[in-house]
Structure 1
Amino acid sequence: MCFSNMYFGLQSGWISMMSLQASLLGYAIFKPFRDKLRTPFGPIENVVLQTTAVATATMPLAAGFVGIIPALGLLTSNDHPDGPIVLSSWQLVLWSLGVAFFGVFFAVPLRKQTIIHEKLRFPSGTATAQMISLLHQDPQEPILRRRHQSSRDSVLEHEDRPLLVSSSSPTYSPTSTGSNQSGVALTPIAHSDLHTSTRQREGEQDWSLKLHALTISFSLSSAYTLLSYFFPIIYALPLFNWLSFNLIDFAKWEWYFAPSLSYVGQGIIMGLPTTLSMLLGCVIGWGILSPIAHYAGWAPGPVSDWKTGSKGWILWISLGVMVAESVVSLAIVSVRSIIKLTAHKRARDDVRYQRVDADEQSSDADTAESHIEQEWVEEQEGTRSKDEREEKDAPPEQLVKTSTTIIGLVASTLLCVCVIAILFGTDVLPIRMAILAIAVAMFLSVLAVRALGETDLNPVSGIGKISQVIFAMVMPGGIAANLIAGGIAEAGAQQAGDLMQDLKTGHLLQASPKAQFYGQLIGSFVSAFVATAAYKLYTTVYTIPGPEFPVPTAHVWLDMSRLVNGHPLPPHVSEFVLFFALIFAALVLLKETKPGLEHVGWRRCIPQGIAFAIGMYNPPNFTLARVIGGFLGHWWDRYCDVLEATDGNRNNMDSSIWDKLFGRYRRHVGKVFIIIVASGFVLGEGTFAIVNLVLRACNVPHF
């Protein structure tokens, strides 16, 4: 997974958290050996496995291999007296270790406030918990188990509403107590031994279908990737030239189509709203602004040139959109956090004072006992409000000790400062500035975690840009130092966000936070070596940046650093930057006017700024296949909704060609099927890209 993310990150700057893929692969690997394992591989073990895998998979972004490191190699003598900074293998390992840990220790103190007290949703973490539950489902257990549930009737709260649904999930029926968001009470139906045996057989059948889907999708993507080495044209089809009968040279403007199944899979995982926002950015950037800039003489060079071409010109507009949305979003999150924390503290104080007052007024000790008993009854019957119920935390022995967090934070900070001094010297980034960079990273990581919990978006790119602005003020003219400081902030936000998503998954499935914490540390340590090996392999075999791996985020980082340190903008781009930045800042405010309704009504039509910017600074072939994936995921969800609407009655289902092809998967696997297919697509190309790398290194001929 680390190699896959390195491959896609160097191509486009986009990486995946890989939590769904990790949980799926972990189950597939260990399931055949479940009878031979001393400890059964259950949901809790799967949580720890995917936590470790995610820490390893995301190191290409956390350590800046797809951004900061290539950007340092693009420095000129005007940017840095010694020119480009190119790190050797051991230096890359040291750099990775230096930035790999402090973000983990940042996240630990935030867990109780964001997950236990405020119960932030963390959608990806919740979806991963549901994926693991569906894989390990016990016919006699509800899909998700929450620590605060002590009633005999299992109630699905807001965060437990399925993002992933399998038709073989436990059956629920209406009762008189408890309700979900739609007002329908849910409680498990009792299962007889015969029914349980039948469910187990059905579970085995369902898993065989899931494994079949994963194998087929992985094989198709692998075959396409291998063929693309011998026939490179299939990776960049001039489809639009063909459609226009070559009357218009769309290829000149970078309009190709890459029928990459991994891109389709990524689009499925991203979802239709995100991919449509990317498509909008692609059309405006590459279909409108790029020709305008070229023919107006603002970007007279070749279209694909980062310095004089329209590709580099529209990059500034995408950068403005990213910074504007990130700043406004983080400001909104900050204000909301302050309001929530104040309200939460006031509510807890009110409850405490009410209890003390009640006890003081009571002359009978039994009254206080009766009061407590009444609270317990109200909680059991579901009559106490959600704010009045306290989420139960893990047992003390499963929590990370405060002393461990403090010692680890101090040690990881010292490690980072020492690494910076060894690699770059105190003349590039003085020690006091390195400490300031970590302090800024800590503050921005808190905002990133809260944004992630509420929106499922970790704005690491915007956070890095904010750090660059701050360091341009305290160290003007230091472009190399600016990049390093931004990389530290990005690393902290990425590591903290990853662990918090995983901790949400673990909380829903009652996994040990301490085990996840150490799993994250182990994964980060191992990935410092794995990610370095992957990066050195790609840079040895390919020219980076180059045609195969343009590394667009490296240009984004470097251009931002030059801008905040006084370098001028290209001609007439500033007006467009300001225009689009104001538009997307206003759209964020408009979308957030009523929290919780961002995906309701007309708000669904508001484009996402970060996705819009990604669609703009990447060429169209990066976006188009992902849009197809977004539509496929949307279609499959609607297709499965038809089955749910008919209560699974086969006689009521449409006997169309789609039902003949996919009916079994819809009935037995449900909505999770499309996620499995997407995972196979992504992992297939990411894996066989290594095969292509070996073929390239061996100079195997191709057409």
Structure 2
Amino acid sequence: MSSTMDDGVDESKEREVVQPWHEQLTLRGLVASVVIGSIFSIIAMKITLTIGITPHFNVSAALLAFIFIRTWTKVLAKLGIASAPFTKQENTMIQTCSVACYSIALGGGFASYLLAMNRKMFELSGGLSVAGNSPSLFVLIPLRKILIIDYKLTFPSGLATAVLINGFHGRGDKMAKKQVNGFIKSFAGSFVWGFFQWFYTAKDNCGFSQFPTFGLQAKKQTFYFDFSLTYVGTGMICSHAVNLSLLLGAVVSYGLMWPLIHQRKGDWFPADIPESSMKSLTGYKAFIPIALLLGDGLYNFVKILGITFINIHNRRLNQNSTHPNSTAVNPTQDEVFVSESLPFWIAAAGYLIFAVVSVIAIPFIFPDLKWYLVVMAYVVTPCLAFCNAYGAGLTDMNMSYNYGKVGLFIVAAISGKEHGVLTSLAACGLFKSIINVSCILMQDFKTGHLTLTSPRAMLVSQSVGTALGCVVSPLSFFLFYKAFDIGNPEKEFKAPFGIIYRNLAIIGVEGFSALPRHCLQLCYGFFSAAVGINLVRDMSPARVGKWMPLPTAMAVPFLIGGYFAVDMCVGTLVVYLWHRFRSKTAPLMVPAVASGLICGEGLWILPASILALAKVKPPICMKFLAG
């Protein structure tokens, strides 16, 4: 009798014949990857430019890959054309390539450190009144066997994606059809809804997105439901803890703090300066969430480094006491994973080539980022990348953005006030990109390990996806940049992390003198609160810790308001009710419906952007006024 393995792979199916690595790479898979990767690049760009928090789309990409190829084969079958069977290895390849593509939109810094360098962020951060105002896939390849087979790290996102893919290709067609139908219906409804809303947005502050759901007074404090199915779908994917933390952050900031601080106008900050000045209320909105982010980030940084070193130490002790003839838990998966070696010299040569190109090219792009600082980044990051990948394997937390901030502060301190802001932002991008891409590759390797997919094929797929992302992501960004008012705090595309990263660089260069009156004391309080919340969560019983909010999620509404938190809590309510009344179908259908909601309205951005670039305006302005 066969048993089901803990990692979601049925043991009775493990001796299946696995195709050679070059046969796992298909033309239809490449086409599907281009389409899915481009769609998610646009969606990820929209979400990161509006609210800054983007969920993992690995599961959604795997689902879309399954739908795309199944639809492809059925259409060909109706035309009388035979096609090769769709395997879980091909599904994994498409998912890997698609994720690599849209990851450039997230990790490339378009909505954070790159946008922080533009003139609008310069003006929003205080202008002249404030002084000083390239990815590598090869870094962790030699350690893939250690991290995945020897250390048996779970990489939860990679594991969840593998379980989903194995389920697609093992459950049969009945549930797959339900998921496809659920996706198509929610996709169509979301796309049509986005199209319908467009007709009522002829001017600023018009349309359903401005509906005063809880009254006009609440709307002034950004509390309303803006009918965005993208955020509802995102809320369905994110955990309840994330969504409720967002709502709590909105209540604390726009519900309590900002109205109270605004009453101190003329005392805490001058009454005759613009609202957008960093010496006014905007300064508190910008720096207090930074304190929350730094407190949460520093705590988790230290915690995960500690977990990493303790686990490595314990494994070394266990290896010394383990019998040499002990066998692997799952030999077939391990055999496939190590059967096609990736020579060390390829990884070393690839990393060295990228390093040399960066040392030569980056100082031409950012003249103040000296070549020796680039060399320092490439020397230091392999160690940091290993720690980050190990921590992500244990906790599913990719801390690359925190490592990037470490690089930002170090370079800001070295560079000084004159050129420190732009130089430190560029250095932040360099650190973050190298560490982030290598961690994503390890998560995909975990998925490939559990789906019996060739590591060589996965590396090729990741390389193709990364190259595709280097083209698609800038195009996606400039589509938004040209069609919409990016970075305007009064408009939809606020790009909150652009101003956050700009102000992080200013703090690194200037120190605390950049803060408005009493802001430093408030920052101390929120920094301590972030550390305290994490301590309570980790040290208290699970029944208490699970109710602790997430400081990073709380920080985002401090800048942009509570409307999107309301949307995402609607998503979490939908998931709760679905699990409550349809518990059997919820785990399978929620990701499909959520993906459809995100993709439908997200894809409407493309024609909406084209219409905006063509100066085609909607015919109606729907606005709500006090009686």
Tell me the TM-score range normalised by the shorter chain: 0.7 to 0.9
1:390-409 equivalent positions in 2, closer than 5 A: 392=334, 394-409=336-351
**What is the aligned length?**
557
Deviation of residue 323 (structure 1)? Answer: 1.2
What is the match of residue 534 of structure 1?
476
- Partner Cα separation in structure 2 for residue 37 and residue 485 of structure 1: 52
1:457-493 residue CA offsets vs partner (Å, 9 max, x unmatched): 2234333222222222322321110100111122123
What is the match of residue 48 of structure 1?
93
- Partner Cα separation in structure 2 for residue 15 and residue 135 of structure 1: 25
1:235-314 equivalent positions in 2, closer than 5 A: 235-239=208-212, 243-244=214-215, 246=216, 249-297=217-265, 298=268, 305=276, 307-314=278-285
Distance 1:555 1:18, change over 3 A: same
| Helix, strand or coil at the partner of 2:549 | coil
1:64-143 equivalent positions in 2, closer than 5 A: 64-74=109-119, 76=122, 99-100=134-135, 102=136, 104-137=137-170
- Partner Cα separation in structure 2 for residue 389 and residue 30 of structure 1: 30
Deviation of residue 256 (structure 1)? Answer: 3.5
Identity %: 22
Deviation of residue 302 (structure 1)? Answer: 9.5
- Partner Cα separation in structure 1 for residue 42 and residue 318 of structure 2: 48
| Helix, strand or coil at the partner of 1:236 | helix
**Match of 1:30, as an amino acid?**
I
2:538–2:545 CA contact under 8 A, matched in 1: no
Distance 1:260 1:205, change over 3 A: same
> Aligned to 1:550, which of 494, 501, 521?
494
What is the match of residue 21 of structure 1?
60
**Match of 1:465, as an amino acid?**
K
- Partner Cα separation in structure 2 for residue 613 and residue 108 of structure 1: 35
Distance 1:335 1:122, change over 3 A: same
**Match of 1:310, as an amino acid?**
L
- Partner Cα separation in structure 2 for residue 84 and residue 224 of structure 1: 46
- Partner Cα separation in structure 2 for residue 44 and residue 308 of structure 1: 56
1:403-445 residue CA offsets vs partner (Å, 9 max, x unmatched): 11111111111222222122122xx111001122334444433
**Match of 2:255, as an amino acid?**
G
What is the match of residue 16 of structure 2?
none
1:429-448 equivalent positions in 2, closer than 5 A: 429-448=369-388
Distance 1:283 1:688, change over 3 A: same
| Helix, strand or coil at the partner of 1:671 | helix
**Match of 2:259, as an amino acid?**
P
| Helix, strand or coil at the partner of 2:471 | helix
- Partner Cα separation in structure 1 for residue 272 and residue 395 of structure 2: 39
1:234–1:258 CA contact under 8 A, matched in 2: no
- Partner Cα separation in structure 2 for residue 389 and residue 44 of structure 1: 18
> Aligned to 1:564, which of 499, 508, 511?
508
| Helix, strand or coil at the partner of 2:566 | helix
Say yes or no: does 1:333 pair with 2:277. Answer: no
What is the match of residue 508 of structure 1?
450
Say yes or no: does 1:675 pair with 2:597. Answer: no
| Helix, strand or coil at the partner of 1:570 | coil
What is the match of residue 490 of structure 1?
432
1:410-489 equivalent positions in 2, closer than 5 A: 410-425=352-367, 428-477=368-417, 478-489=420-431
- Partner Cα separation in structure 2 for residue 503 and residue 634 of structure 1: 32
Deviation of residue 316 (structure 1)? Answer: 1.2
What is the match of residue 693 of structure 1?
609
Distance 1:309 1:627, change over 3 A: farther
> What value does the CA root-mean-square deviation take over the aligned residues?
2.9
Structure 1: 5+ residue stretches without partners:
86-98, 138-168, 170-202, 356-371, 380-385, 644-665
Say yes or no: does 1:575 pair with 2:521. Answer: yes
**Match of 1:69, as an amino acid?**
L
1:479-527 residue CA offsets vs partner (Å, 9 max, x unmatched): 1101001111221232122212211111111111221112111111111
What is the match of residue 2 of structure 1?
41
2:333–2:449 CA contact under 8 A, matched in 1: no
- Partner Cα separation in structure 1 for residue 194 and residue 562 of structure 2: 19
Deviation of residue 563 (structure 1)? Answer: 0.8
- Partner Cα separation in structure 2 for residue 526 and residue 267 of structure 1: 28
| Helix, strand or coil at the partner of 1:257 | coil
- Partner Cα separation in structure 2 for residue 471 and residue 397 of structure 1: 42
What is the match of residue 11 of structure 2?
none
Distance 1:301 1:606, change over 3 A: farther
Distance 1:637 1:124, change over 3 A: farther
- Partner Cα separation in structure 2 for residue 16 and residue 441 of structure 1: 25
- Partner Cα separation in structure 2 for residue 460 and residue 565 of structure 1: 22
Larger Rg: 1
Deviation of residue 399 (structure 1)? Answer: 3.4
1:444–1:489 CA contact under 8 A, matched in 2: no
- Partner Cα separation in structure 1 for residue 333 and residue 482 of structure 2: 51
Deviation of residue 552 (structure 1)? Answer: 1.0
- Partner Cα separation in structure 2 for residue 129 and residue 516 of structure 1: 14
1:138-160 residue CA offsets vs partner (Å, 9 max, x unmatched): xxxxxxxxxxxxxxxxxxxxxxx
| Helix, strand or coil at the partner of 1:121 | coil
**Match of 1:285, as an amino acid?**
S
- Partner Cα separation in structure 1 for residue 179 and residue 601 of structure 2: 19
- Partner Cα separation in structure 2 for residue 589 and residue 621 of structure 1: 29
- Partner Cα separation in structure 2 for residue 442 and residue 285 of structure 1: 39
Deviation of residue 390 (structure 1)? Answer: 12
1:97-246 equivalent positions in 2, closer than 5 A: 99-100=134-135, 102=136, 104-137=137-170, 169=171, 203-232=172-201, 233-239=206-212, 243-244=214-215, 246=216
Distance 1:623 1:303, change over 3 A: farther
Distance 1:451 1:279, change over 3 A: farther
What is the match of residue 538 of structure 2?
592
**Match of 1:267, as an amino acid?**
G
What is the match of residue 165 of structure 1?
none
- Partner Cα separation in structure 2 for residue 443 and residue 258 of structure 1: 44
